[in-house]
Structure 1
Amino acid sequence: MTADPAPAPAVSHVSTRSVDPADRVDFWEDYNRRALVGLTCSPYSEQGLLASQTNVSLRGLRLAEIAGNEHVIERTPRTCRALPKESVFATLLTAGEAVFFHAGGCLSVRAGDLVLYDTRRSYLFGFPSTMRQLLVDIPGEVFAERCLAGGVAAPMLFGGDSATEGVLVSTLRSVLADWARGCGSGDPARTEATVLDLVRSLAAARMGDRSEPPTRPSQLAVAQEYVVRHLSDPRLCAEQVAEAVGVSTRHLSRIFTPAGVSPSRYILEQRLAKAREQLGDPQARHLTVAEVAHRWGFASQAHFTRVFRDRFGQTPGEARPVPARSGQRRRGTPMG
């Protein structure tokens, strides 16, 4: 008897563009009050508030992708009392810049940075230009049980303070972006576990707690993200990936068991997929096959051609689009 497939995550999407400019702020505040958290919003554009939000349910977590023009959102002490919310938000800024004011000070946030904060405490998030962010709503009890028992006493900012931190944040962004775009693969429960483990790894390291090692789902996500970002490096190999993840090559093979391929095969498959995609792009016709092979980390054109034919049943040259013949008569054009 086979288990039923995991249900697709529920998705909702709203935008203020179709709302009368005079009603946009009320519309936005009311939607966020129901979907995420109670807050007040102040736009700073002559166009008014132009914002959109996509919400995805990942089991016990809520993922939101939010985009907008310049504006400020604030959760005041009064709002915290009137509209209580016991969650920890992990907000990853993917475009623009921001300032995050809280009781203990101010954080400057750049694209690529992650802010972890408690919704029970007041804050102000200001965006001076067009912005986009990925936000994970983690219920307080879930965060305490699976991330950090003591909770978040003060907001934490994660960026590139260390190579390990940068890899974890980058991996989290990759995992969340796929689901926000509606192309997340796999079981939502596995994704939920991966997200929580990545957040736990970041928060625990910041608090000096390294007692619990990352779980295999998050290690696999980190390894896959590392591979994708280093495909053009011809030296990329299983040993290099294992070192980046902080495990032995033997353990890395066990981590890749759910993927159904070995680490070396995964690297090769990703390189071949990227090369095939570029070969089929009419905009890349100026690149020779050798240049495409080099761009995706293949040591030689001969090796690239051989493994490409083995994988796809055609040579790299045959995978390229056939250019239209000069002087070829267009369909429907009369002769004479």
Structure 2
Amino acid sequence: MTQPASLISRVSTAHLDPADRVAAWEEYNRRALVGLKCSPYAEQGLLATQTNVRFGALRMADIAGNEHVIERTSAACRALPKDSVFASLVLSGEAVFYHGRGCLTLGAGELVVYDTRRSYLFGFAAPMRQLLVDIPRELFAEVPSPARFSADRSALRALRTLLESVAARPEAVADGADETALDLLRALTTGGAPPLFAAKDYIDRHLGDHELTPARVAAAVGMSARHLGRLFAAEGDTPGRYVLRRRLARARRDLADPATRHRTIADIAHRWGFASHAHFTRVFRAEYGHPPTDLR
């Protein structure tokens, strides 16, 4: 079974006056992807293309260009907030990725996963192409620091094949391709990841389980419930509060989605692990300052 990926938008700077290309590129990205600043380094100015598609819960940008640097500054993070995790796969060229804790270098076939709420700089010293997956934060575990993954990882090879097929034939994307992509990204990011990251990932994949408890999470990732509690406490949190926030975020997304208008608030609450409609309404209002009915 297939469900076509929907084309969101497409842009090219080739037809623009060289003096206008950077401003046009920055404005397009602000609207379609993320707020950033761009600096070209080729004599002919910025020559770049971008195609944005949606498949399932994910968006993907297919970006190609000549030598340039893009930067998401701290000021841009504040003025143009973006609450996503980005997974950027370099298909050709080489890149450097600067962030608050250091610098990563990437070659063709390598991937970097990072948080759009934090500043970064992405530089390309030669013609490049990348596939960038835009993941809503509520679908993925927290990314405490940008992480690079090498091209020889089997999960990354499978992810590359999937993303290239979405880019090449968006009209024939397999049903569930977004979940497959998320599963592959989770396999990459949790393989050898810190225990807290693995615990959060397990929670995020089992939010609809009404039997989800700290003890169950701890057992799934190979630690005691007490140790799990200490890991969350180091962030000023608890496993229970984390589960509640993530469940509320998923429910809120469904409530705001026109595709789920046929489902009742009680159905959506139950889907995301809330046994009581009254309890769901109470904690939703406490978290967001308004009742869930405001989204209907």
Query: Which residue in 2 is equivalent to 1:154?
Result: 145
**1:185 CA drift (Å):** 3.5
Does residue 142 of the first structure (1) align with residue 128 of the second (2)? no
Confirm whether residue 76 of structure 1 aligns to residue 73 of structure 2: yes
TM-score, reference length from structure 2: 0.64
Kept after mapping to 2: 8 A contact 1:55/1:180? no
Change (3 A) 1:8 1:202: closer
Residue 202 of structure 1 corresponds to 188
Paired positions, count: 199
* 1:10 CA displacement: 2.5
Aligned to 1:177: 164
- The one-character-per-residue Cα deviations of 1:233-282 (angstroms, maximum 9, x if unpaired) are xxxxxxxxxxxxxxxxxxxxxxxxxxxxxxxxxxxxxxxxxxxxxxxxxx
1:167 aligns with 2:158: no
DSSP-derived class of the 1:38 partner: coil
Structure 1 residue 41 displacement after superposition: 0.1
SS in 1 for 2:191: helix
1:173 aligned partner, one-letter code: R
Work out whether 1:48 is the aligned partner of 2:45: yes
Q: Which runs of 5+ in 2 are unaligned?
A: 206-296
Q: Distance in 2 between matches of 1:154 and 1:122?
A: 11
* TM-aligned CA deviation for residue 208 of structure 1: 4.8
Structure 1 residue 5, shift from structure 2 partner: 7.0
Structure 1 residues 167 and 14: alpha-carbon distance in aligned structure 2, compared to 1, 3 A threshold:
same
Residue 201 of structure 1 and its aligned partner are, at CA, apart by 0.6
* Superposition TM-score, scaled by structure 1 size: 0.56
Give the structure 1 partner of residue 85 of structure 2.
Answer: 88
- After TM superposition, give the deviation of residue 51 of structure 1 in Å: 0.2
CA contact (8 A) 2:90 2:110 kept: yes
Aligned to 2:177: 191
Deviations 1:157-213, CA, capped at 9 Å, x for gaps: 0005xx6xx11111111100111112563434x10000000011111113155786x
| CA distance 1:197–1:26, shift in 2 (3 Å) | same
CA distance in 2, matches of 1:7, 1:113: 27
Unaligned 5+ residue runs, structure 1?
A: 216-336
Distance in 1 (alpha carbons) for counterparts of 2:157 and 2:2: 28
Deviation, 1:6, is 3.6
Equivalent pair of 2:2/2:173 in contact (CA under 8 Å):
no
* Equivalent residues of 2:5, 2:171 under 8 A apart: no
Q: C-alpha distance in 1, partners of 2:58/2:170?
A: 17
Cα displacement (A) at 1:13: 1.6
Cα pair distance change 1:5/1:66, threshold 3 Å: closer
C-alpha separation between the residues in 2 aligned to 1:95 and 1:29? Answer: 22
Kindly report the root-mean-square deviation, in angstroms, between the aligned alpha carbons of the 2 structures. Answer: 2.0
**Residue 36 (str. 1) matches residue 33 (str. 2):** yes
Counterparts in 2 of 1:186 and 1:38: CA distance versus 1, 3 Å: closer
Cα 1:186/1:126, change in 2 over 3 Å: closer
Q: Percent identity?
A: 55
Name the SS of the counterpart of 1:94 in structure 2.
Answer: strand
Distance in 1, Cα, partners of 2:125 & 2:2: 43
On the 8 A contact 1:178/1:184 being kept in 2, the answer is: no
Q: Secondary structure at the match of 1:134?
A: strand
Q: Which residue of 1 aligns with 2:219?
A: none
Distance in 2 separating the partners of 1:41 and 1:198:
30
Q: Which stretch shows the higher mean deviation, 97-106 or 9-18?
A: 9-18
Task: Give the drift of 1:34.
Answer: 0.6
CA separation in 1, counterparts of 2:93 and 2:137? 28
Within 5 Å, give how 1:274-285 maps onto structure 2: none
Question: Counterparts of 1:111 and 1:7 in 2: how far apart (Å)?
Answer: 28
Supply the distance in 2 between the matched residues of 1:5 and 1:109 (Cα, whole angstroms).
33
Name the counterpart of 2:271.
none
CA distance in 2, matches of 1:8, 1:168: 22
For 2:103 and 2:19, locate their aligned partners in 1 and report how far apart those are by CA, in whole Å.
Answer: 31
**Using the alignment, how far apart are the partners of 1:58 and 1:6 within structure 2?**
8
CA distance in 2, matches of 1:51, 1:186: 25
- Separation in structure 2 between the aligned mates of residue 5 and residue 180 of structure 1, nearest angstrom: 15
Whether 1:21 aligns to 2:7 is no
Shift in Å at residue 11 of structure 1? 4.3
